[in-house]
Structure 1
Amino acid sequence: MSISTKQKQFLKAQAHSLKPIVQLGANGLTEGVLAEIDSALNHHELIKVKIPTDERDLKKTIIDAIVRETQAFQVQTIGHTVILYRPSEDNKIELPKK
């Protein structure tokens, strides 16, 4: 999946008012958390996930694993929060033309 810069800016604007839907706990990235992220992406298409860790390498590894397992697109990472987008069959969010 490829998203243009214009589409990425649009998604960032849409995500600005969103609150994190999923937050990783002490156990980190588990199968249950991945299932919850997948379910949230199916329902909302655009979500925020909070990753409470101060280690940059660990955070990057977790984000890469989420993107790989859910087939989502990483829109942006701000601090401990990552914005993910994956279009659903309903296409709730209409992206601007490339």
Structure 2
Amino acid sequence: MLTSKQRAILRREAQNLDVVFQVGKGEIDETLVNSTLECLNARELIKMRVLESSMYSAKEAAAILAEKTGADSVQVIGSKFVLYKQKKKDSRYADLIAVK
């Protein structure tokens, strides 16, 4: 669970990220979950978008994907959301969000 300070730091880091996945009009299936998990394991912090034709809101999609991947939902704005899952080794953000 992230604190508000940690979320603020991760929101700042996510500002310049490009969207890596889009949630379309289909269900959030295992393929999307596995792809999201692989991307989180590689990048730690990712930005995603929900298309207008989707049956999910950005908040719903973020909650579902965060739960299924074990990630934290950092931010939801409009149709975009940011997920974070810290690596066990060589984490890029561990020093930034270390509790002081």
Q: TM range, normalised to the smaller chain?
A: 0.7 to 0.9
Return structure 1 stretches of 4+ with deviation > 4 angstroms.
Answer: none
Long gaps (5+) in structure 2: none
Alignment of 1:15-94 (within 5 A): 15-53=14-52, 58-59=56-57, 60-90=59-89, 91-94=91-94
Report the 3-state secondary structure (helix = DSSP H, G, I; strand = E; otherwise coil) of the residue aligned with 2:11. Answer: helix
Alpha-carbon distance, 1:30 to partner: 1.8
Report the 3-state secondary structure (helix = DSSP H, G, I; strand = E; otherwise coil) of the residue aligned with 1:58. Answer: coil
Residue 7 (1) aligns with residue 6 (2): yes
> In structure 2, what is the Cα distance between the partners aligned to 1:44 and 1:15?
11
Q: CA RMSD in A?
A: 1.9
> In structure 1, what is the Cα distance between the partners aligned to 2:60 and 2:77?
15
> In structure 2, what is the Cα distance between the partners aligned to 1:58 and 1:21?
18
The alignment's TM-score, normalised by the length of structure 2, stands at 0.83
Alpha-carbon distance, 1:31 to partner: 1.2
Q: Read off the aligned partner of 1:93 and give its amino acid letter.
A: Y
Residue 97 (1) aligns with residue 99 (2): yes
Long gaps (5+) in structure 1: none
Alpha-carbon distance, 1:54 to partner: 6.9
> In structure 2, what is the Cα distance between the partners aligned to 1:51 and 1:28?
12
Q: Read off the aligned partner of 1:81 and give its amino acid letter.
A: K
Report the 3-state secondary structure (helix = DSSP H, G, I; strand = E; otherwise coil) of the residue aligned with 1:27. Answer: coil
> In structure 2, what is the Cα distance between the partners aligned to 1:63 and 1:7?
18
> In structure 2, what is the Cα distance between the partners aligned to 1:34 and 1:53?
20
Percent identity of equivalent pairs: 25
Paired residues, what number? 96
